[in-house]
Amino acid sequence: MSFLRTLTGSFSSPAGDNPTVAVMEAAFGELAIDWSYLNCDVAPDRLADAVAGAAAMGWRGFNCSLPHKQAVIPLLDELAGSARLTGAVNCVVNDGGRLVGHNTDGAGFVQAFEAAVGPVRGRSMLLVGAGGAARAIAFAAAVAGLGALRVVNRDAARGAELAFAVDRATGVRATSDAYDVIVNATSVGMLPAADAVPPVDLALVGPGVVAVDVVANPPRTAFLSYAAAAGATCVDGRGMLVEQAARNLSLWSGREADRAVLRAALVRAYDQG
């Protein structure tokens, strides 16, 4: 019998409202593996220390969330194709001492979206944000057949750069036409600032529009509450969180988790919060 557990975890800041730990611990329990997941609040100027520490302690891998999805890249040994394409990393695998960055956010978004409302193919998307999550969503949706994309961001140049990069890599054109999907890919609306609304013209939200929020805590953000009242179809951040968590587990362990178990753990975490 070994008393040495396999360690994984998450580096973000703030970290206190990140429910991923509940989902991952449920996955470990369902698979009956002696693993632990540590939710760590890591300031930007300590990220290099945290990564080095995880490697030194033999962690099997870790997640990176806000604000580290791009900053972690120079600290890694290699990028998988998903991370190279998007320019963002949310999952790192310790492969025999080499730290390999992956991106499971984009595939998780597409899977959750299509399970909720149908194919991405042919749709026109207004994407709010240009950070790590937004980049993953933009590229994954484009690869899945997105028809057109517009990116809005507080830093307009950064938003334009993302739209141009997607167009150059996938051929998905930028658009200023009407949108049938509006995605908040920022942290606006996350606890404790749950009343905040992303910088999007809410007049665009209404019947025939799918409003998506990547924020998972709270599940019903102020943006989604407004969208639902306006008649839009709403997709909250829980499905994406569950899908990317399942993909993280597969990368770290080679095992597949039951999504229903992960989602139930997420619901319990909210009920107890």
Tens-digit pLDDT profile for residues 46-68: 999 999 999 999 999 999 999 99
What are the C-alpha distances in Å from 47 to residues 43, 86, 91, 104, 211?
A: 6, 20, 14, 20, 33
Q: What is the model's pLDDT at position 222?
A: 97
Q: What is the model's pLDDT at position 83?
A: 97
Give the fold, CATH level 3, of 6-103+239-272: Rossmann fold (3.40.50)
Count of H-run helices and E-run strands, the chain: 9, 12
Q: Indicate if 69 belongs to the active site.
A: yes
Q: What is the model's pLDDT at position 98?
A: 98
Give the fold, CATH level 3, of 106-236: Rossmann fold (3.40.50)
CATH 3.40.50.720 residue window(s) in the chain: 106-236
Q: What is the model's pLDDT at position 175?
A: 77
Give the Cα separation of 198 and 186 in Å (integer): 7
Q: What is the model's pLDDT at position 166?
A: 95
Q: What is the model's pLDDT at position 273?
A: 59
Decide: pTM greater than 0.75.
yes
Give the Cα separation of 35 and 24 in Å (integer): 9
What are the C-alpha distances in Å from 191 to residues 21, 23, 59, 219?
A: 16, 18, 29, 10
Active-site position among 68, 69, 102, 135: 69
CATH 3.40.50.10860 residue window(s) in the chain: 6-103+239-272
Q: Give the residue ranges of the chain where pLDDT is below 70.
A: 1, 273
Q: What is the model's pLDDT at position 39?
A: 97
Residue 92 main-chain phi, psi, to 5 deg: -115, 135
In one-letter notation, the amino acid at residue 24 is M
Give the Cα separation of 141 and 66 in Å (integer): 21
